[in-house]
Amino acid sequence: MASRLIINADDFGLTLGVNRAIAELHQAHVLTSATLMATGAAFDDAVAIARANPSLGVGCHIVLTDGEPVSPPHSIPTLLGSDGKNFRPSLLDFMQALMRGNIREGEIEREAFAQVQKLKQTGIAVTHLDTHKHTHLFPAVARPLLRVAHCCSVGAVRNPFEPAWSSRLAPNAFVRRLQFHILGILGKRSFESLPQLNDGHVLTSDGTIGVSATGQLDAASLRKILHAMPEGTWELVCHPGYNDTALNAIATRLRATREIERDALLQEIPRASRTVSGLELIHYGQISQPHRHYERSL
């Protein structure tokens, strides 16, 4: 059976150490894609890396929580936290406001558009969109996100839903699996019915794998996921980096695990390329191209 795999690193632009890991992994042929944060502290360095590595697919990592906006704060008041300048600091706060109808879809669309345009203004050909902390699991985020993708001629978006076969392989992740299962019930059908996906203006994968394993994606877990992967086009989401002083200054739960994920990719992707029949590594800019039916040997 033939499988196509997009290996995407989130948080490109977060720190210099995250950027360095992404560059090294791509140059080692074990990472095909990364999503860039428009207001990341290391944005300029990430842009330079993207320019120096044109074979790296670069998407926009839309941030709507736990960060600062690109848009003027007065233009997106329902997206902001109590300080009136930055996004709500936690996903739970964002979810509660969204479920209560306190966030306007038009403001999500305005801010997502501004973030995409910031990347495009640097000359980056944006391959796809995804969201920080997978907020487009919610229909009220997915709808404006797909409108922005279509408007900005971005050809693909992350499928935020993890298939059951992948989530079952995540170690010690019962609560996380349950959370994503509930959110999947609420949003998957709505996501699949969005007109931009149905009419083919925006493409997506068959699902995103490794979501439930986030924070625990070591070599053994990654090996199990890759060898269980069925035929189709999948995205492996990962968060590699270096656990340095810059990362310590960032509010994130992913610290030492970023180096574990980096090492797992270096160990397991070459192995999978030799042993998984028909495996093809692509980025989102290549998702519309036909499968070339070959085994990669890195």
Give domain status of residue 35, yes or no.
yes
Residue at 81 is within a domain: yes
Answer yes or no: is 298 within a domain. no
Per-residue pLDDT of the chain (298 residues; tens, 9 = 90+): 479 999 999 999 999 999 999 999 999 999 999 999 999 999 999 999 999 999 999 999 999 999 999 999 999 999 999 999 999 999 899 999 999 999 999 999 999 999 999 999 999 999 999 999 999 999 999 999 999 999 999 999 999 999 988 988 876 655 555 555 555 566 688 888 899 999 999 999 999 999 988 888 999 999 999 999 999 999 999 999 998 887 777 767 666 889 999 999 999 999 999 988 889 999 999 998 876 543 333 3
Q: Which domain holds residue 201?
A: 3-286
Any bridge partners for residue 233, and if so which? 4
Decide if 294 is inside a domain.
Answer: no
Tell me what percent of the chain is helix, strand and coil, each rounded to the nearest 5: 45, 15, 40
pLDDT of residue 293: 41
Q: How far is CA 277 from the centre of its chain?
A: 26
pLDDT value at residue 128: 98
d(CA 180, CA 185): 9
What are the Cα distances from residue 39, in Å, to 62, 117, 158, 224, 252? 10, 12, 20, 35, 15
Q: Which pLDDT does position 290 carry in this prediction?
A: 72
What residues pair up with 143 in beta bridges, in sequence order?
none
Token couple for 49? 């890396």
Confirm whether 140 is domain-assigned.
yes
294: how many CB neighbours lie within 10 A of its CB? Answer: 10
| Closest listed residue to residue 173, CA positions, set 266, 257, 265 | 257
Domain membership flag for residue 291: no
Is 198 a member of any domain?
yes
CATH number at residue 25: 3.20.20.370
| pLDDT for position 68 | 94
Domain count along the chain: 1
Backbone dihedral angles phi then psi of residue 35, each to the nearest 5 degrees: -115, 125
The pLDDT, as a whole number, for residue 245 is 83
From the CB of residue 93, how many other CB atoms can be counted at a distance below 10 Å? Answer: 15
**Separation between Cα atoms, residue 14 and residue 232, nearest integer Å:** 31
